Structure 1
Amino acid sequence: MRKIFGILFLILGIVMLVVGGAIIVTNEAKDDTVSGQIKEEFSKQYQTERERELNNGRILLVAGLIFFVSGTTIISVKTKGQKKKENDSYTSEDWNTAPLAQNNDILTQLERLGELKAKGILSEEEFQQQKKKILG
């Protein structure tokens, strides 16, 4: 359900960005035409209308950007349940069978071991046992 809302926010954001950009581009193009220049010189109402349209385009651009970023965040951020499920899928036995020789950097191995202990994947006893293996 969460991803659906994220996708809806993304789509809404993209649509708002496109419409806002189109409003601004169209409004700028009007000023380049001869009739636009004539209207601009003679009509304060035309200038007020033009400013209102530009502001609407700017508002749509900002709102579209906000919706787009929100949608991206909703889709990419993991819930607590997803994080727990991910952590639960990695057991201490996986660590015991993982080849330590692949990573020769002892400091990196110790940091990774500490992270696993902090996440609760390794007990204190397993942590000490693996630390001894790494340090030799």
Structure 2
Amino acid sequence: VMADLRPPVLDDYGLVAALRWYGAQLASRTSIAVTVQGHELIPRLALPVENALFRIAQEALTNVTKHAQATKATVAVEVDDETVRLIIADDGIGFDPASVTGPDGRRGWGLLTMAERAEAVGSRFRIESRPGQGTRVIVEVER
């Protein structure tokens, strides 16, 4: 269980390698084809930021398996001079992000946890989804 929360591959090889490892694990346990795109970040992000991005991707992919009825998921790490962008997209049923609430009337727990993780490391977080259109979780962090 601990290796899933912070896999050694994250510390040893970086975010993209850890995402590839997790995507392969998920694909082997589900019927979802998971593709990971991107190159390792040089220089690497701070470990707390990499860990937060990994955990956000993990939660987003968990949501794909639980709720999306998807056949494909893509995890992309895009980099430019100023920003690292993590995008988790699926071809599932989509949803109205404004209508998802947890027991306390706030956003669903998984969505709230992802947003809080992003905020804790100074990242921007958003969800793009509509019923029938799949979902994209996007996290942007300054380099």
With the shorter chain as reference, the TM-score category is under 0.3
TM-score by length of 1: 0.28
TM-score scaled to structure 2, two decimals?
A: 0.26
Higher Cα radius of gyration: 1
Larger RCO of the pair (alpha carbons < 8 Å, separation 6+): 1
Give the number of the structure whose residues are more often helix, by fraction: 1
Bigger strand fraction: 2
